[in-house]
Each structure stands twice: as structure tokens, then as C-alpha cells.
Chains A and B, each alone.
Chain A
Amino acid sequence: MKKIAVCYKWVLSDTDIRVDEKTRSLNMEKCKYQVNEYDRNGLECGVQIKKASGRELVGITLGKDTASSAKDALSRGLDSVFYLDDAALADIDKIGAAKALAGMIKKVGDVDVVICSEASSDDFAQQTGPRIAALLGWPSVSYATKVEVNGDSFTLERKLDDGIECVSVAAPLVITISPEVGEAPIPGVKDILGAKKKPANALAIGDTGLSADALKPASAIVSVLAPETSRKRQRMNPDGVSLDQAAAALVKELSQAGIL
């Protein structure tokens, strides 16, 4: 049976990020891992393609702590998961990640549809899908908002700046989806319980056909800082001037600044 491979990233949730006000550095200590939100739409897209075409649906992921991602990912409709959890991949860059994912896809075998989401919530680099397509030598369809499948032929809609493009492609292919492709349902109790019984397969770097050296990052992140927000800190009602006066002052201020 042919397989659909959905790549998903195990990212730190941004809800508990704390910013050090002095240095603007980010403290991620309290952040928990989760399946990248956009990839949840990708997983759901995979579920729909599986339903329509009878393919098998596998999830693929790599990076730190990804072994613990399997249960969550499997509750979202996957038949099985392949993960590459190796400390050596902690600082992997986009090129390395795409290479390793392409290697994993080959290792899984019989994959003829790869789904990635537009981007991940942590880096938002928007590269992985197209890079994998290039490495596999398959057509790449990005920004897909609608996917229809009939056996090996795919009809997709892409959202572009100036309209919607409709394309027909034959498998094998790599699809990069936009969230509009379909809302991801929240897994139910039975989905979560069922996930425990599905296979989660560990792969090693060697399984990608590449060496740890070949996956070494070519680029390095120099620093990550919270954006600086500068506020004018102007009070319109100092010393409790009347509301009317304050409003008038505000209107004047905003018109002078060209906002009104």
C-alpha cells in the first residue's frame, strides 16, 4: 500500500515564554512541547487523503524529545509514527532537517505523498516542504488550501497574492498546506486511548542514509530577543482634566501624527 507521510514538528508552546525585561532574552523553561499548530492541519489533511484514497498514513518527525511526541501525534489519525530523537540534532538547521526528513521518508518506503505545513510556530522559516521536494526530486505544491485526490492524481488549490491557482499533479508529490485546508479536530478520548496501541518507530541518524556530520548546521542562530516595543507613555488626562479635554487632546495628537 502506498503511504502518505505527514511531517510534523515537535515545538515548544509559546504560551509560557517569559521575557526578561532587561535583556529581552526569552526564558522557555516553563514551555511544554506540542505538535506544531499548523502541522495539526497537515495531519488532518493527511486523514482526508487517506479516507479518499485508502493510503496508509504515517507521521514523521525529528528533533529533541520527539519520542514523547508519538502519543499526541498518533491521536490525530495517524496509523504509525517514525521519529528520530537524537541529541546530536538539537541545533539542526532547515537544510539539515529537510535532508534528514527526506532520508526518513525514503527509509519508511512506499511514500508517494508528503505533507508539510506552511511553517512552524517557532521559527516560521517556510522552507521545509519545498526543500524536501527538491531533495526527493518530486513536484512541490505550496500554500495548498484545498486538496482533492483521485487515485494518483491530485487537484489542488493554492492561495496566492493575486488569486487562487488550481493545479493538477500526479503523485509522487510534496504538498505544503495552509491552515485553511481544513480545521484540525481536537482528539477525542477514544482517539487518545487508541494512540497508545499504535506503533511508534524509533529511527537512528544512520537510517537516513546520512552521517551526523552531514546534518551539522551550516548556519547558527546568533541570538533570539523579544521585539522592543517603544511607547510614548503620554497621558491625556494628567491631573484629572475633564474627559472632553482629554479626548480633544487625544484627537489632536492623533491627527498630528497622521493617524486620524
Chain B
Amino acid sequence: MADYDAIVVGAGLSGSTAAYCMAKAGLSVLVVERGDAAGTKNVTGGRLYAHSLEKIIPGFADEAPVERKVVRERISMVTDESCFTADFSSSRFQNPASASYTVLRAEFDPWLAGKAEEAGCDVVCPAVADELLRENGKITGIKAGDDELTAEVVLLADGVNSLLAQKAGLKKELSPHHVAVGAKEVVELSSGIINDRFNLNEGEGLAQLFAGSPSRGMVGGGFLYTNKTSLCVGLVVTVAHMAKSPDRLPDMLESFRQSAALKPLLEGGKIIEYSAHLVPEGGIHMIPTLSADNVLVLGDAAGFCLNLGFTVRGMDYAIGSGALAAETVIEAKQKGDFSNAVLCGYQTRLENSFVMQDMRTHKNAPDFIEHTPRMFKEYPELVENIFADMFTVSGPSKLMLKKALPYVRKAGLLNLMLDGFKGSRAL
């Protein structure tokens, strides 16, 4: 008999969610996590859309260590000289089912892994799953150091660079076109200063995205999220572009931090943390084989992450896919059949859920973004020029249209229309 019903590799959001749901249903579950504790190896920008976890643990935000509820959204178009910002706040963001929260993974992941442990899972960290165990070709567990641990099914929740999914033959080596690289810093500031500076009430948060010069015109963008007593600031840039560029990501982050758009917002803050990580952004084009006999792939390992130009979203998909993987394993346990005949139900469940539906909805996004560099350079410049003229008086005035037209021509009216049309169908 196997040591466990299920072994989960990785105590990120996908792994811990799956483990929690399976243990709740009475399955015996082992979670192994490479980091010294859950959350130590994980990087995120900062915003968790609550809907998927809300279904699993209703009202989770009351007990979980979330930072702030996002009630204010900003998008900035930045050039070396100017910054155009749209600011949107709404009481609509208050609804728990559609709310979003800023989170710090070093706090949030241990909480979720703790929930899994409370539900009865064995959670072991630090422990690296080095290999999959096989008997007569069938996956029977994992090898971690000198230890062999067996299970009916192994859930690979080991993140974007899932070596085990590659070893299992479910996934190919990552393509530079399917991943971005992100770097971020946590900047400490008092909650009072954050509230004043970003016009927030206690517990309320802001999310700000930056397009243009932060990514030096490459596909990508900058972000800022407010936590209780810190800010997360960072950059995400596509690896394929980064590789061709002379710029180094840490230097780009440094200039972003020093830029006129960001510097005043960070004034007086102290950098307390730096981290960097890969981001899957190939969407549906990078999704591996999701299930096979005795194995499932979830979260970032399965490529369930969307990059819609300036913003990355993966945490709610990680949670969603974790829950569906758990449902599938629970069914397999009931039927006593962990072969792909039952486990392939995971794919059907995903197809019927927001996870795969979103991947399909945005299937053209990676291609559109990669082939529309104008979004990251020419358009921020266009906005800059129009607004700079609108608010500059140095002689006789001109009509709006006359002011704008030359700049629109420069960016290309046809480009604008086409990109606008294609973009609104892809993003």
C-alpha cells in the first residue's frame, strides 16, 4: 500500500489549495516544499483576486493575513519626461466575491499551508522532490533526498519551471517567448504615510500599473501595490526581449524606482526585500499535458497565468486549478482508480471553469502583446505629447484636434485603429 493517497509537490497557492481540499475530504496527503517554509520561494506582484479562494474558504479575508483591500486602481503611461495617470476608485470593489487584496506571500502562503496542515495534511519543508518514482513505468511517488515516498497520485504544483512535469514527459522545456522575468522590491513605509500618500482609508489599498519607460519600451511594465506597512514595486519583462536587450533587470528596477513617476511615492521608504522570479505568460499556448496516469499538473506549472500587457494574474488560477485537481483526486479515490481514465476529468473540470475559459478568452493576448511593441513605447509617447500640449500655454492656442493630429499621425492612425481593434479582441 502507498504511504499516502496523494503527494503534492510545492506549497504555493495551487499546491496548498489542492492539499487542503483533499484532506478536508478525508484523503491522506503529503505536501513537500523546497523552501524553509511555505512562501519563502514564491514571488508575486501583489494582487489576489479573491473569488476562487472565497468559494473554498468563504470569508477567508477575515482570518487570512491579507494586506489591504484594493479600492483604487491607477494606470500610468510613462515616458522619460512625463507621466499620465488614470485613477479609478469605486465602492463596487467592496463586494467579497469580486474583491481583490494585496498579499505578501511570505505571510499568506504559510497561512494557507497551515490550513492544509490543520485539515490533516503532512506538510514538510524544506524538502525537495528530486525525482518521480516509477514502478513498471507507473508513477508511484517521489524521491526526496534519500527518502522514497509513495502515493496513488502525485500533484505537480511546483511552479513555472516545473522540472518534474518535464521529467514526467508532460511538458517541454520553457520557451523564452512563453515566460517573462519579474523583479520586485518591498519598500517599507508607515501605514499613515501610505494612507495619506495614496488617498486611502485604513485597510484600503491601491494597485498601480505603469506602461512605457519602466520596461524601456520592451513588452512588460511596472507595478506598485500598497501593503499594510510597505509597498511592492516591480517590473515584469518578457524573457525573449530581455535576452536581446543590453539592459539588466536590476538596473531597470533601480531606474524605475528613481523615476519621476515613482520616486515621490517611495520617499522616505526603506527597501527591505528584493526578489525575482519567472512568470508564465504563454497562456493557452504553453499549457502542458495536464493529466496522465497517477499525475496531475496545476498552477504555474500548468501555465495557468495571464499577462495582459501590464498586469500579471496567476494566483486565482493557481487556487482554482488546485481545487479542481483536488475534486478529481477525490473522485479517483472513491472509484479506486487513479489512472488517467478518471484523472482526465481534471481537464473537463478546467474547461468548464473560469481557468480554462479565461485562457481561451485571452488566447490571442500573448501574440498580440508580443507583436505590438507600440503599446509599450509609441502609445505612451503619444499620450505624453497630447497631454503635454493640452496643458502647455506658450503663445496662441490651437484646437484640440490640431494639437493631437500630428502625434497621432506619427504613431500611425492605421496602427492605432488596428491595434485598438485587435487589442480589444485579445486582452
Residues of A within 8 A of B272 (CB): 18
Q: Determine how close the nearest CB of chain B comes to the CB of A133; give it in whole angstroms.
A: 35
Complex Cα gap A186–B145 (Å):
10
Shortest C-beta distance, B104 to chain A (Å), equals 11
How many residue pairs link A and B with beta carbons under 8 A? The number is 25
Q: Which residues from chain B contact A258 at a C-beta distance below 8 Å?
A: none
The contact string, 1 if C-beta is below 8 Å from chain B, for chain A 6-29, is 000000000000100000000000
Question: Is A188 positioned at the interface, with any CB of B under 8 Å from its CB?
Answer: yes
Question: Is B135 interfacial (CB-CB < 8 Å)?
Answer: no
* A-side contacts of B127, CB under 8 Å: 188-189, 192
CA distance A18 to B186 in the complex (A): 14
Asked if A231 CB lies within 8 Å of chain B CBs, one says no
**Residues of B with C-beta under 8 A to A188:** 127, 144-147
Of all chain B residues, the one with the shortest Cβ separation from A193 is B122
Q: CB of B61 within 8 A of chain A?
A: no
- The prevalent SS among residues of A at the interface is mixed
The smallest C-beta distance from A86 to any residue of chain B, in angstroms, reads 25
Q: Which of A32, A186, A189, A196 is in CB contact (< 8 Å) with B149? A: A189
Interface flag for B426 (CB, 8 Å)? no
Could you tell me which residues of chain A, from 158 to 209, have a CB within 8 Å of some CB in chain B? 186, 188-190, 192-193, 196
Chain B residues whose CB sits within 8 angstroms of the CB of A192 once the complex forms: 124, 127
**Neighbour of B144 across the interface among A32, A189, A196, CB < 8 A:** A189
Considering only CB atoms and an 8 Å cut-off, how many residues of chain B contact the other chain?
13
**A195 and chain B: residue at smallest CB distance:** B124
CA distance A38 to B122 in the complex (A): 28
* 0 or 1 for each of B146-159: is its CB under 8 Å from A? (1 = yes): 11010000000000
Q: Closest CB-CB distance, A12 to chain B, in whole Å?
A: 14
Question: How distant is B120 from chain A, measured CB to nearest CB, in Å?
Answer: 12
On chain A, the residues within 8 Å of B43 by CB distance are: none
**For residue A192, which residue of chain B has the nearest CB?**
B124
**C-beta contact mask, B16-34 vs A, less than 8 Å → 1, else 0?**
0000000000000010100
Q: Point out the residues of chain A lying under 8 angstroms from B30, CB to CB.
A: 189, 193
Of B32, B37, B145, B149, the most chain A CB neighbours within 10 A belong to B145
Q: How far is the CB of B7 from chain A (nearest CB, A)?
A: 10
Name B141-177 residues within 8 Å CB distance of A. Answer: 144-147, 149
Binary contact track B287-309/A, C-beta < 8 Å → 1, others 0: 00000000000000000000000
Which one of A186, A189, A193 has the highest number of Cβ atoms from chain B below 10 Å of its Cβ? A189
- Chain B residues with Cβ below 8 Å from A186 are 126, 145
Q: Which of B37, B124, B126, B145 contacts A193 (CB 8 A)?
A: B124
Q: Which of A18, A186, A192 counts the most chain B CB atoms within 10 A? A: A192
Give the shortest distance, in Å, between B124 (CB) and chain A (any CB): 5
| Interchain nearest-CB distance for A206 vs B (Å) | 33
Q: Which residues of A contact B147 (CB under 8 A)?
A: 188-190
Residue of B nearest to A32 (CB): B37
What sequence of 0s and 1s flags, for each residue 117-147 of chain B, a beta carbon within 8 Å of any chain A beta carbon? 0000010101100000000000000001111
In the docked arrangement, what's the CA distance between A190 and B124, Å? 9
Task: Tell me the smallest distance from the CB of A200 to a CB of chain B, in Å.
Answer: 17
Complex Cα gap A196–B146 (Å): 19
Question: Measured between alpha carbons, how far is A190 from B143 in the docked complex, in Å?
Answer: 11
Taking CB atoms and an 8 Å cut-off, the chain B residues in 231-269 that contact chain A are none
CB distance from B147 to the nearest CB of A (A): 5
A32 CB contacts on chain B under 8 angstroms: 37
Set of chain A residues within 8 Å of B32, measured between Cβ atoms: 189
For window 26-51 of A, CB contacts with B under 8 Å fall at 32
* Cα distance, A189 to B145, chains bound together (Å): 8
Residues of B within 8 A of A196 (CB): 122
The interface residues of chain A lying within 8 Å CB-to-CB of B145 are: 186, 188-189
Provide the residues of chain A in CB contact with B126, threshold 8 Å: 186
Q: How far is the CB of A179 from chain B (nearest CB, A)?
A: 20
Question: Whole-angstrom distance between the alpha carbons of A189 and B147 in the complex?
Answer: 7
A18 / chain B contacts, CB cutoff of 8 Å:
272
CA distance A188 to B146 in the complex (A): 7
Cα(A130)–Cα(B393), bound, Å: 83
Min CB distance B61 to A, Å, is 23
A227 to B158 CA separation, bound complex (whole angstroms): 41
Bound form: Cα–Cα A173–B32 in Å: 40
Residues of B within 8 A of A193 (CB): 30, 122, 124
Q: Given the complex of chains A and B, what is the CA–CA distance between A32 and B127 in angstroms?
A: 19
Q: Cα distance A136–B108 when bound, in Å?
A: 47
- Expressed in whole angstroms, the Cα–Cα distance for A187 and B372 within the complex equals 51
- Min CB distance A155 to B, Å, is 31
Q: Which residues of the other chain, B, contact A190 by a CB distance below 8 angstroms? A: 147, 149
- A196 CA / B144 CA spacing, docked (Å): 18
| Cα(A190)–Cα(B145), bound, Å | 10
Given the complex of chains A and B, what is the CA–CA distance between A190 and B147 in angstroms? 7
- What B residues does A189 contact at CB under 8 A? 30, 32, 124, 127, 144-145, 147, 149
Please give the distance in Å from A169's CB to the nearest CB on chain B.
35
**In the bound complex, how far is the Cα of B144 from the Cα of A192, in angstroms?**
12
Q: 1/0 contact trace for B260-288 toward A, CB 8 Å?
A: 00000000000010000000000000000
> In the complex, A192→B30 CA distance in Å?
12
Kindly state the separation between the CA atoms of A105 and B122 in the bound complex, as whole angstroms: 32
Closest 4 A/B residue pairs (Cβ) = A189-B147, A190-B147, A189-B127, A189-B144
> 13 extra interchain contacts, Cβ-Cβ under 8 A, other than A186-B145, A189-B32, A192-B127?
A186-B126, A188-B127, A188-B145, A188-B146, A188-B147, A189-B124, A189-B127, A189-B145, A189-B147, A190-B147, A190-B149, A193-B30, A193-B122
Q: List 6 A-B contacts (CB under 8 A).
A: A32-B37, A186-B145, A188-B127, A188-B145, A190-B149, A193-B30
